[in-house]
Structure 1
Amino acid sequence: MKQGAKQLFNLRKKEIAKEKSYYNKFIFNGHFSVFLVILLGAFILGYGDWLKSIPKRINYALIASIIVAITSIFPIRTLLKDADKLFLLPFEKHMSEYMKSSLIYSYFSRLPLQVLIIIIFFPLFYVLNNQTFGFYITFAILAIIFPFLGLLLKWQWYKFRLERWSLFTVLFIIFTSGFYITLDAKNISSILSIIILIALILFIKYLNKSNLFPWERMVAIEQQHHMNYYKFVNMFTDVKQIEERAVRRSYLDPFLRTPKNNKFNDNSMYLYLFTRSFARGKDAFNIILRLVIIALILMIWLHQVIVVLIIGSLFMYIILLQMAQFYTQQAYGLWPQVWPVSDKMVIKGYEQFLMRLMCFIGVVFIIIFAIAFPQYGYFGAIYFLVGWLTIRNVIKKLKYQETLLRD
């Protein structure tokens, strides 16, 4: 039966790998790959310039400890499905073998990101500590060991039916203190954090001897992880399994006033629909907001005019391009069936919505650019040009697609 538990998990893992392989074709397409390469180049360029004149009187050890502590709290991926709560119940006494495979998978699937963060912070502390790095080896070892011990503790914590927030608090305090002692005091006593974690794991495991498998909780956690992945993929292609949810954002109410009577017609309804769906939707709004924030951070951080213009233009292009998926979600939904109109009107409303979104983002980008480079502020008009050309290209493709559908 132990072998059966491993086979079941391996089967689920292959299913997930197959699904991700399918969606990766849409995610890492030509446009996004170029975007990632340019973004990486911009980060390396900005990071290198920043290291030449690092601001003083900032506790970088504490900041790095907090960041790495948060990234060290890996999520558990059980790959369980809703039906498992019923059909795997007779198999419960063998679920410990299944969870061993789950914890190993959870660790190695997230480990590359942890290694990347360790590499990113290395040049900073190498420069701050006059090109010495012996202490950083201890920090890197802790950053590799902590996540796995955290996963072991998390599993026992969930099995004991304790709250998630309390686990996060415990792990955050232990991880942060261990990292900070290593980076700031450069003291080997940070290894005590490992001993504390192991002691906690063994103690709660002892208390869990008679506890049953927490089916409801583990299935719910896996479903949430899977849905988050679908939301990310939905930026690039349609995902049937995704569940769109609405969120009330009262601060956006001034932009969502009910149209006057003369605006309730074919010409205006889809502009209102797209605007309202975007403002009240949970996924598209949050995704675009994150992209804008990342763009603004890079524009403020980098100090080369040409690079900032390229970064802003690239983000304008990516944001508008990703909104093409928003069109398919709305145009082929319920409203066209409730109030049928010509597809030309739907595309027109979508074009108007994109133009307004582009104008808002363009104004924000130009303000930041003008503050950073007052003497070159007028070059910010390039953002509007890139946005207009992108919208023109998107609308042209949509019209062509609708023509093929009619045929």
Structure 2
Amino acid sequence: MKNIHNLWVSRLSEYQKELQKYMRYIFNGHLMFVLIFAVGGGGYVYSNWIRTLDETFPAAILIAAVLGLAVTMSPVYTYLQEPDKVYLTPLEGQMKRYFTNALVSSFLFQSYIVLVLLAAAMPLYAQTTGAAFTGFFWLLGIVLALKVWNLIMRWVILKYQEPFNHYIDLGIRLLLNILFLWSVFADVLVWLPIVIGLILAGYMAAFIRITKEKSLKWELLIDLENARLHRFYRFANMFTDVPHLKGQAKRRKWMDPFLKTPDLNPENTYSYLYTRTFLRSDEYFGLWVRLTVISGVIIGGADNLWLKVITALLFLYLTGFQLIPLLKKHELKIWPDLYPIQSGYRHQSFKKLLTKILIVQGAVFTVINLVKLDLYGAGLTAAASIAFVIAFVSLYVPAQIKKHHIK
């Protein structure tokens, strides 16, 4: 038992070190500035929107849906590794303390999400119901207790190998979570939360009894843990290089018009390579889509002209900054070096592609302003975006290439 406990301590320590290593890159000076501005800008838009609401707004169902989704998505962090299915399977009977610690660790890591979401929901709840903010702590206790229930249920259902059972359980838990939270926030019937709470307890007790004799599905647990770590590394890869991350390419046939075979000109070789890499890799194209959507929501919800322009420029910078590693994507492959092409075409092609990517993003910001019939804002956003892209690609990118010795 002592060796099992030592294994747990070792695995948790390794995970925390890995987490801290990449968090230093994620929350560096540039990104912290952008994050602070994004939170401030989003908070400003959110507070202005809340002031326009009254008691007729269905805040209870909206809050219940958001928090219900947050507590339903409750992965169990097991920190298991590939060799464990060989070496730890015979010790399954001694692993109870290990997996209890895994559930506690999962709760502690995920509870901050619930805390942040509930804190963000409280102004909306108070504005539409007239409730006092002093109710925050008992509401937090209820939501955290619901989170514990979901983690236990997730662990119990993991004793089933079939994905169908997992999906059914996910749907049932999501529905029960939303109904329970709605009954709490709507405060329509005093006995309704109690009744739903008893249903939750009965659901859990039934499955604990049903799965009592079932063994752990080690391969499933290890696959889920690997998938969870892969998602984290993909996120970290947006900010720094992750050496052991294997990128995924997607066909995206609908983008074929942008990937037509270029003219047989040496200048087009790297342009075709980098364009194909950007459009068909999850890490770069997905990054562009996510940042464009987030910034578009902020710009679309803002009423202040300068907030819109600054948001556009900050997210253009954030996008461009995180796309620079695309230039090193094929650095360790020998075949691009075999091209009978001048090395200068590599940087030139990358800067042309980056210019197009950022211009398209700036055009999206401009269109959002046009949709809101803000012609002056659209013109100012377009002009500022073009000026920024020219300066960024002409001055900042070459400096970064030189600084990091990118060939």
Q: What range is the shorter-chain TM-score in? A: over 0.9
Aligned to 2:376: 375
The alignment covers a number of residue pairs equal to 401
* CA displacement 1:112-149 (0-9 Å, x = unmatched): 11100000000001011124457765543321111111
Deviation at 1:198, TM superposition (A): 2.7
Whether the 8 Å CA contact 2:313–2:385 is kept in 1: the answer is yes
* CA displacement 1:88-132 (0-9 Å, x = unmatched): 122111122211010100110011111000000000010111244
Q: How far apart in 2 are the matches of 1:133 and 1:239?
A: 43
Q: Secondary structure at the match of 1:323?
A: helix
Deviation at 1:354, TM superposition (A): 0.3
The code of the aligned residue for 1:309 comes to V
1:171-320 to structure 2, matched below 5 A, reads 171-188=173-190, 189-259=192-262, 263-320=263-320
Distance 1:399 1:185, change over 3 A: closer
Distance 1:203 1:364, change over 3 A: same
Q: How far apart in 1 are the matches of 2:105 and 2:340?
A: 49
Deviation at 1:154, TM superposition (A): 0.8
Aligned to 1:325: 325
* CA displacement 1:231-278 (0-9 Å, x = unmatched): 01101111111111111212212211122xxx2343111111111111
The code of the aligned residue for 2:385 comes to Y
Q: Secondary structure at the match of 1:246?
A: coil
Q: Secondary structure at the match of 1:159?
A: coil
Q: How far apart in 2 are the matches of 1:132 and 1:300?
A: 31
Q: How far apart in 2 are the matches of 1:376 and 1:67?
A: 32
Deviation at 1:32, TM superposition (A): 0.2
* CA displacement 1:40-71 (0-9 Å, x = unmatched): 11122112211221278542222221111111
* CA displacement 1:280-312 (0-9 Å, x = unmatched): 112221121011001110001111001111111
* CA displacement 1:165-191 (0-9 Å, x = unmatched): 112101101100001111224444314
Task: Out of 246-255 and 224-233, give the one that drifted further.
Answer: 246-255
Aligned to 1:33: 32
Q: Secondary structure at the match of 1:239?
A: coil
- The alignment's TM-score, normalised by the length of structure 1, stands at 0.92
Deviation at 1:333, TM superposition (A): 3.4
Distance 1:349 1:55, change over 3 A: farther
Whether the 8 Å CA contact 1:252–1:279 is kept in 2: the answer is yes
Q: Secondary structure at the match of 1:244?
A: coil
Q: How far apart in 2 are the matches of 1:177 and 1:136?
A: 19
Q: How far apart in 2 are the matches of 1:267 and 1:331?
A: 18
Whether the 8 Å CA contact 2:270–2:345 is kept in 1: the answer is yes
The code of the aligned residue for 1:113 comes to I
Aligned to 2:349: 349
Deviation at 1:375, TM superposition (A): 3.2
Q: Secondary structure at the match of 2:158?
A: helix
Task: Out of 51-60 and 178-187, give the one that drifted further.
Answer: 51-60
* CA displacement 1:304-345 (0-9 Å, x = unmatched): 001111111100110011001222123443541453644321
Structure 2 gap segments, 5+ residues each: none
Aligned to 2:144: 144
Whether the 8 Å CA contact 2:320–2:354 is kept in 1: the answer is yes
The code of the aligned residue for 1:198 comes to A
Distance 1:118 1:364, change over 3 A: same
* CA displacement 1:193-250 (0-9 Å, x = unmatched): 3332332222222222322111011000000000000001101111111111111212
Whether the 8 Å CA contact 2:299–2:308 is kept in 1: the answer is yes
Q: How far apart in 2 are the matches of 1:335 and 1:216?
A: 37
Whether the 8 Å CA contact 1:65–1:176 is kept in 2: the answer is yes
Instruction: Provide the alpha-carbon RMSD of the alignment.
Output: 2.1
Deviation at 1:368, TM superposition (A): 1.4
Aligned to 1:397: 399
Task: Out of 354-363 and 177-186, give the one that drifted further.
Answer: 177-186
Distance 1:87 1:126, change over 3 A: same
Whether the 8 Å CA contact 1:347–1:398 is kept in 2: the answer is no
Deviation at 1:405, TM superposition (A): 6.9
Distance 1:131 1:149, change over 3 A: closer
Q: How far apart in 2 are the matches of 1:184 and 1:331?
A: 57
The code of the aligned residue for 1:375 comes to Y
Distance 1:250 1:211, change over 3 A: same
The code of the aligned residue for 2:388 comes to V
Q: How far apart in 2 are the matches of 1:191 and 1:390?
A: 58
Q: How far apart in 2 are the matches of 1:151 and 1:205?
A: 13
Distance 1:376 1:150, change over 3 A: closer
The code of the aligned residue for 1:53 comes to T
Q: Secondary structure at the match of 1:235?
A: coil
The code of the aligned residue for 1:242 comes to L
